[in-house]
Amino acid sequence: MAEHARRAGAARTLAYCYSYIGATEYLQGKFADSRASLERSAALYREINTPSGEAMALQRLGVVRTAVGEWDQALADLHRALEIARGYILQGHSLMRVYATLARNRLEAADFHAALGYAEQGLAIEERHGRCLICGALLYPATAMAYAKNGDVKAGRRFAQLACESATECGSRFFFGLATQATAMVEAMDGNWTEAFTALDRAERSFAAIPHSYEVARTCLFRAYLHMQRHKPQDLAAAARELGRAAPIFARLGASASATQAKSMLLQLRTQPKRS
């Protein structure tokens, strides 16, 4: 379809095709291809002065750049999307999705205060414009993690539950995986290790069924982190196994920041005293 649109000179259709292709490539783990497709989509939408399409493409591009560790460039793309989205009729939906992506970006960068600020701005948009199932499924997992990381486990648990409910209503394995990842991290903050590890098992099954190798690797990374925090006998060995699973996936996908984090955690493990 994209080739037909190109030959026909149908720029709007071509821009839409590249945006859809880029989103699909992201789910397939083709991050470099996805980034190129979404950059092309955003540029085409800008050329033909279609702000709604450009904002959508930039939001998706922000997701990909965040995944590969280009956090500052992702912030720039997402703030550009915010500026655009404020100017057209469907701004509520676009703004919530952009704020959800900004919150996730800041969580990945360990800027937890900023993550919560973006999440709360997304919730304020929802309060004004009403609930959207897809927007909520994107926003609630990041909101749950942001609250928990800022010490409000009660609010984190509430939004993790909302995330699970929205994902179930959507019937989306991807959203359910994100929701159960958030559930795991919130429960871990409260020391509920059994619930946390069970949630991560559910997340991995959801992502593996798609399949979405990046989120499988992130789930392994979260599981390793939980083992390191619990620090019972055999936890360090279990953490090393999970990091050994995650690191090659991140490297293959070009998710350099996550690959570096996994390697750093492995190095940290090697310096810790063994427990029998």
| Cα–Cα distance measured from residue 243 to residue 139, given in angstroms and rounded to the nearest whole number | 27
pLDDT in tens, 55-108: 999 999 999 999 999 999 999 999 999 998 887 655 778 899 999 999 999 999
> Does residue 18 form part of some domain?
yes
Which two tokens mark 218?
A: 């992130």
Q: Which residue has the tokens 């085409």?
A: 44
For the chain, the average pLDDT equals: 93
- Structure confidence at residue 12 as a pLDDT band (50, 70, 90): confident
Helices (H) and strands (E) in the chain, counts: 14, 0
Which residue, among 192, 193, 144, has the nearest Cα to 165 in the 3D structure? 144
> Does residue 78 form part of some domain?
yes
Specify whether the CB–CB gap between 84 and 51 falls below 8 A: yes
pLDDT reported for residue 223: 98
In the chain, how many domains are there? 1
pTM for the model: 0.92
- How many CA atoms lie less than 13 Å away from 207 in the CB half-sphere? 23
> Does residue 76 form part of some domain?
yes
Which residue, among 58, 15, 55, has the nearest Cα to 6 in the 3D structure? 15
pLDDT reported for residue 130: 87
pLDDT reported for residue 85: 84
> Does residue 39 form part of some domain?
yes
- Structure confidence at residue 8 as a pLDDT band (50, 70, 90): very low
Average confidence (pLDDT) over 205-231: 97
Which two tokens mark 219?
A: 């789930």
pLDDT in tens, 113-167: 999 999 999 999 999 988 899 999 999 999 999 999 999 999 999 999 999 999 9
pLDDT reported for residue 274: 59
Is pLDDT of 208 > 80?
Answer: yes
Q: Which residue has the tokens 């903050």?
A: 189
> Does residue 171 form part of some domain?
no
> Does residue 33 form part of some domain?
yes
> Does residue 57 form part of some domain?
yes
Answer with the residue of higher pLDDT: 91 or 35.
35
Specify whether the CB–CB gap between 160 and 141 falls below 8 A: yes
Element (H, E) at 43: helix 31-47
Q: What's the gap between Cα 131 and its chain centre?
A: 20
- The residue range of the domain holding 70 is 1-89
Answer with the residue of higher pLDDT: 53 or 8.
53
The per-residue b/e assignment along 65-89, b for 16 or more CB within 10 angstroms, e otherwise, is bbbbbbbeebbebbebbbebbeeee
Q: Please report, for the domain that includes residue 40, its CATH number.
A: 1.25.40.10
> Does residue 13 form part of some domain?
yes
Residue 65: C-alpha distances to residues 17, 113, 147 (Å): 20, 21, 23
